[in-house]
Structure 1
């Protein structure tokens, strides 16, 4: 058979002999071979190298445990991130953006001081008055936490007590603030109202910007009890 093919090649024109010889060689080398090549051996799947490319049905029992462990860890990590994000959002809302946040009450008090002529007479130009928390040795570090507390009294009313510092071209001072949130049934709408707002400047008399005890109909006025009855 081989001699016949060799004779056929010799009888062909010289220009076609290389092509026929190559085809003959390819046919002979291809005999007895199989079309299915052995699949390359893959790496063992672990929780650290699993990229999800290997189908679940091709995993061994140990590899399935590894994938489950990895997915459980990833889910827990995502859940933890969601909880932390929610916590930060809650703190930001209650401390900054809420109408009852301490930042809102602080800004309102500062604006009220800047608009009061008695305060500007002692502190100086309202545009140059700054307010900050606890004093610090670093004159540039004015962004200090504002000292404040919240509590409820025996009547269920919420109290907000705050103090901070103000500084102007002429003097420095300390501001004390006390607000009370009356009960909803009191008819005050459940919003904080001033019990007092004061400014103390060393060497000068205290300035009352708000004083509920001096206002007869203020819902924040101090209550006294006589014979078991609350009197304002």
Structure 2
């Protein structure tokens, strides 16, 4: 029986050969690769962060701090409703402000307003010596003019009774009366004006003081009567 022998060949070791050591560069690359693998594994396994929660936005509590993209469909509808309502409120405020400004100009600052007619008439009366003598004894600064009297003796500045009307011919008539008072007496001023060709003309301006004869500052009817007595009609003297 033959016996097989395996001959092992041993390579003799070189006493001068030293095993190689890993370089620092290779070690760094290896560590970096391992770190990336660990980071990737951690990132892959971690669940995505959930978006921050906010209180539910409604039509009444929305302050606009939450972004539009973060709102739900219902919350977007609530914000749209609120903004539409705010826009309508702003438009209504602008229209109301314009209406008030127009009314204020028409009633106070316009040359044809009731206040302007009142101020001009008071100035006209204070410049008349007859009115000043009857009411204040010659001192126009002591004359007071006011609207309708009131039971409250501390407040005499009431609404002035005046209105503008149109006759059948389309002519505008302005009538107004107010009260005047001085150290010597009290009275009522009567005013009637007519608008012709864009200008207001006096028809009647008179002061009535109890116990005294009416004082006329303007009287168009009396002027017409005087012209008839002088033989004038339509500006032409007929006799």
Superposition TM-score, scaled by structure 2 size:
0.71
Q: Is residue 134 of structure 1 aligned with residue 142 of structure 2?
A: no
**Matches of 1:62 and 1:32, distance apart in 2:** 37
Q: Comparing both chains, which one has the higher relative contact order based on Cα–Cα distances under 8 Å and sequence gaps of 6 or more? A: 1
After superposition, residues 208-227 of structure 1 pair within 5 angstroms as: 208-216=216-224
Q: Is residue 147 of structure 1 aligned with residue 161 of structure 2?
A: yes
Residue 130 of structure 2 is matched in structure 1 by 118
Residue 201 of structure 1 is matched in structure 2 by 209
SS at match of 1:69: helix
**Matches of 1:126 and 1:65, distance apart in 2:** 69
SS at match of 2:162: strand
Superposed CA deviations along residues 161-201 of structure 1, whole A, max 9, x for unmatched, are 0000000010000001001101x3xxxxx111110001000
Superposition TM-score, scaled by structure 1 size:
0.73
Structure number with greater Rg is 2
Superposed CA deviations along residues 68-125 of structure 1, whole A, max 9, x for unmatched, are 1101111111112112211211111001100001000000110111110110110012
- Let me know the Cα RMSD of the aligned residues: 2.0
SS at match of 2:199: coil
Aligned residue pair count: 182
**Matches of 1:99 and 1:168, distance apart in 2:** 28
**Matches of 1:197 and 1:104, distance apart in 2:** 15
Q: CA offset at residue 57 of structure 1?
A: 3.1
- Given candidates 90, 100, 119, the residue that maps to 1:107 is 119
SS at match of 1:144: coil
**Matches of 1:98 and 1:140, distance apart in 2:** 29
**Matches of 1:80 and 1:215, distance apart in 2:** 52
**Matches of 1:139 and 1:119, distance apart in 2:** 24
Residue 67 of structure 1 is matched in structure 2 by 79
